[in-house]
Structure 1
């Protein structure tokens, strides 16, 4: 028999294969698992690379179900504002911020809660950095604050109308306050920001993806193709392999031609491919753009991202008829309901369509969602931006009843649904161990914070499935998500058992080995 290229020994494997739940040795040839246990050991040859894991626990390779790697590399740079708890912290950070090209000061990760319940405006920017062009992205990625000078450079002097649900927030006199809601409004200022060279973007992307591999990730679902992502992925592969295998879903925005995203389907490189289309049904709770069945505490949240929701239904059904997977951002209860109604009776031809985020969900909608065949893709790590006592901006806007429905992961699993887990990086950390731990703890690991909706906690096995077998199911992959002969050689090896070990310990446990499609991308 042909010798293996790679032989992993000294491990206990949780295969997630009901026919063979455990293994102690794994043989890999090319990008496939070719043998297990004794049969694997027999494939050791002179050229076989043997890795002894010294007792580590190996699982199918982890996949992040929702990520934006190039968006993070391109835009989440400058002043890191994630640690700011109030406006005094923002003042200190901005005072120390170093200006970049053309005097621009950019920052990222600003929490809505720093405004203490008040409307976010650029007043603090004008106080600390008068006359300077400043652009700060809030942590949700759907809003930003621009200084008066930044708005001037972008030619923004008042309200604008957009095809999508987006807004330049203005005061009663029609003067912009600096707050920009959703993509189209933010793009007005982003268009005049200094550009980042492709060489720098490739370096940042390499750093981010290598960091992801070090936390055990072997692949990810990229939920955009913005900023020339496909071209950048292609140029990256001219000089090397991407550390992760990437499955890309370009955006289909209101007013766009469905044929444009259809034409992108099937475009691919060695380790990336376009295999889906991303829609937005709403925005975010904190920004007041989540589509809710009842208004939030400010009287907002009653509009869809698609001003004509019927146009979304037509577009998503057209793609379903073409047997193209759709993934739809739907955070509010009305948004989720609309997606379910749009797809629950459509002949999908076996394609598994997905709903992303589902941050607040009525109990009665859960079984309907499951019966529809839609896959839920959630990021319980985002609950780290909320508080169990509902004193945060997300909970305050929704009210206690809807906040109690936060990220109903366990309800979906108990109802028999498929649940994919992810980070939405750069919105939250890409560390896969933290994602797994947060899904079990419903709080940030390593803290004594009160858990958010603890009854929605997943078991260790459920959390692991959310980044392995359920992720493979969602993407229609019949040769992934398990450690089995003939399956893709995606492996993640933990220093401890990710199912049985305490979740707080899991978040800090070393990753001994990451193998993506047969390629060793990290070893400790």
Structure 2
């Protein structure tokens, strides 16, 4: 009899049922990082949502007819994996929009968008996401003209893979009132041709000009997208996600979903600053649902843009674009106000910084404001920490700042990163080993839907520094590799620590939540080049079986 037949999926509506159920899952190859050491076990016992015991030695299981005993059939058990930086609503919407990931050319992106629109004839606006001009032979930004040929009368808005640039057709620009006379806003750029006409590409803050014209989704549409996203994430072995930058509307939806017991995974939300009524939300303090499925104790601020769209703020010019240093999305006064206000309200501050200038500015502000507000214990973070001056690397540990990084960014960016920043600056980029050697804590994630949400892609990339076809041979800057233990730690207990949740999740031990996954392969002994192929057979969250392959 198969494992899945032994445990029927328990509907989420029954998560709040009144009876207690003790369960033992035995015959597993269990791994957990407890007290900074790898612990192995062969069985786990939990009642309702709490772990009571892990069996590390050969000892008899409790013999009680009231206890449900499940044979794990030798599968590998790991703590539920935690993505410290994703965008849940954006991911859900990406599952409902034209998928432009890995398109080989501008024309292929147009063709995919057209095919999507034909399958969805009732759309008012056509949305898509995932294009990346660096992967195209042209290596140049797309234009409205190619979209206009097939979408002359319907507005089209396609976001770049990193979400830091958008591609519009002429109809969308007309609705937004974009002309040659429209000026680029602070922290953004309207790309124009040699005649001064907008080409259709909008970078960072300039995207708001188009976004303002897009009809808002209603409440039920947004809840549907959130549910679709969470169902997909849990199938990949994610039991908790830090949602990196949401507004009060999203917060209200998550609260409803938690109340309805309709959340298969935990969400640790970051309030986006600035967003509507953000000051009032901070005054309201932290929030945690009764089930610990939804929490709000941090904020997200963006200091700069992304490297692929040359929006990352650099100290010196881009190596492949003389005279251009990227974009700072806020002036120093505003950025200081956002950070200090959040710190004074007792919220952890998580600042997006990709370029070396943005990282230095953020660390400088953290150093001054952590001391002023006495908030080192809040474990402030830098999201991405992608390109660092070597002199800034020790400051993470010194300031108690966590590096929330995404391993697959390195393997996705490896074909263009050195072109953008040159041979010297690359030494401080995607510098996992240098950060770890400097005693920094790395919380792993994916930045989905920028990258795949699959955490095993991230585990593979951090161990091998290779893409899924195992290139380059030996790894890209292999001296920055993490060990398998370090990589798993970054996706479990260190990610939990980065969200102030290490006392309830992140490892499998008595007193913690029963969040774990079962996989067919042994992560610690299988060939490292195959780690990305791992598939999840079962996921448990809060002691409930929420996914089965």
The residue correspondences of 1:282-297 to structure 2 (distance < 5 A) are 282-296=304-318, 297=320
Number of the residue aligned with 2:500 = 476
Please state if 1:338 is matched with 2:361.
Answer: yes
Tell whether the 8 Å contact from 2:188 to 2:327 is kept in structure 1 after alignment: no
Q: TM-score, normalised by structure 1?
A: 0.90
8 Å contact from structure 2 (residues 258, 294) kept in 1: no
Q: Is residue 2:100 matched to residue 1:108?
A: no
Return the alpha-carbon distance in structure 2 between the equivalents of residues 366 and 523 of structure 1: 42
Does residue 176 of structure 2 align to residue 154 of structure 1? yes
Shift of 1:239: 4.2
Q: CA deviation at 1:257?
A: 7.3
Partner of 1:14: 31
> 78, 87, 92: which one pairs with 1:68?
87
Asked whether the equivalents of residues 76 and 426 of structure 1 are also in contact (C-alpha less than 8 Å), the reply is no
Task: Give the one of 414, 417, 435 matched to 2:440.
Answer: 417
- Residue in structure 1 matched with residue 397 of structure 2 by the alignment: 370
Q: CA deviation at 1:94?
A: 4.3
Per-residue displacement from partner, 1:165-194 (whole Å, max 9, x unpaired)? 123333455432211111x43233233335
Q: Say which of 189, 193, 202 aligns to 2:210.
A: 189
1:20 CA drift (Å): 8.3
1:82 to 101, 118, 132: 101
Alpha-carbon displacement from aligned partner over 1:21-44 (angstroms, at most 9, x marks no partner): 222221112322112227996556
Out of 425, 438, 442, the position equivalent to 2:465 is 442
Measure the CA separation in 2 of the matches of 1:75 and 1:523.
23
Partner of 2:294: 272
- The aligned residue for residue 31 of structure 1 is 49
Query: How far apart are residue 120 of structure 1 and its match?
Result: 3.9
Cα drift, residue 281 of structure 1: 0.8
Say which SS state the counterpart of residue 251 (structure 1) adopts: strand
- More moved, 71-80 vs 348-357: 71-80
Kindly indicate whether the alpha-carbon contact (under 8 Å) linking 1:445 and 1:503 is maintained by their aligned counterparts in 2.
Answer: no
Task: Quote how far apart the aligned CAs of 1:123 are.
Answer: 2.9
Stretch deviating more after TM superposition (342-351 or 463-472): 342-351
Counting only pairs closer than 5 Å after superposition, residues 186-225 of structure 1 correspond to structure 2 as: 186-225=207-246
- Distance (Å, rounded) in 2 between the aligned partners of 1:202 and 1:48: 36
What is the Cα deviation at residue 408 of structure 1?
0.8
Cα distance in structure 1, aligned partners of 2:232 and 2:478: 30
Distance 1:238 1:487 in 2: 22
Residue 465 of structure 1: aligned partner: 489
- Provide the rounded CA distance (Å) in 1 between the counterparts of 2:221 and 2:338: 36
The 2-side partners of 1:301 and 1:227 are apart by 33
Pairwise CA distance, 1:419: 0.4
- Secondary structure of 1:228's match? helix
Question: Residue by residue, what CA displacement relative to the aligned partner does 1:199-253 show, whole Å, maximum 9, x if unpaired?
Answer: 3433333232122212211101001214831232233345443111000001113
The yes-or-no answer on 1:490 pairing with 2:507 is no
- How many equivalent residue pairs? 515
Whole-Å separation in 2 of the counterparts to 1:279 and 1:41:
52
Whether the 8 Å contact between 1:27 and 1:40 is mirrored in structure 2 is: no
1:68-127: per-residue Cα shift (whole Å, max 9, x none)? 011221356432221312234234434534254455332210012237233443232234
Aligned-partner SS, 2:306? coil
Deviation at 1:333, TM superposition (A): 0.7
Q: CA deviation at 1:265?
A: 3.8
Q: Would you say the 8 A contact 1:71–1:227 is kept in 2?
A: no
What does the per-residue CA deviation read over 1:482-519, in whole Å, with 9 as the maximum and x for residues that have no partner? 22111222222222222332233222223233222222
Structure-to-structure mapping, 1:92-107, within 5 angstroms: 92-99=111-118, 100-101=121-122, 104-107=125-128
Instruction: Answer yes or no: is the 8 Å Cα contact 1:253–1:279 preserved in 2.
Output: yes
Say if 1:463 and 1:132 are closer, same or farther in 2 by CA, change over 3 A: same
Give the secondary structure class of the aligned counterpart of 2:340: helix
1:441–1:503 CA contact under 8 A, matched in 2: yes
Distance 2:38 2:133 in 1: 48
Q: What SS class does the counterpart of residue 73 from structure 2 fall into?
A: strand
Gaps of 5+ in 1: none
* Mapped contact 1:289–1:305 kept (Cα < 8 A): no
Distance of 2:247 and 2:59 partners within structure 1: 43
TM-score (ref. length: structure 2): 0.86
Distance 1:316 1:41, change over 3 A: farther
SS at match of 1:507: helix
Alpha-carbon deviation of 1:407? 1.0
Residue 5 of structure 1 aligns with which residue? 22
Deviations 1:351-383 (A, max 9, x none): 100001122222222112222210001111122
Counterpart contact for 2:305–2:327, Cα < 8 Å: no
User: 1:227–1:319: structure 2 CA closer, same or farther, 3 Å change rule?
Assistant: closer
What is the distance in 2 between the residues matched to 1:197 and 1:3? 38
The Cα offsets for residues 449-500 of structure 1, whole Å up to 9 and x where unpaired, read as 4533222111100110001111122122341322211122222222222233
Quote the Cα distance in structure 1 between the aligned partners of 2:282 and 2:216: 29
Do the aligned partners of 2:77 and 2:517 also contact (CA within 8 Å) in 1?
yes
**Structure 2 residue runs without a partner (length 5+):** 1-18
Aligned to 2:16: none
Closer, same or farther: CA 260–159 of 1 in aligned 2, 3 Å: farther
SS at match of 1:317: helix
| Aligned-residue offset at 1:331 | 0.2
Report the equivalent of 2:410. Answer: 383
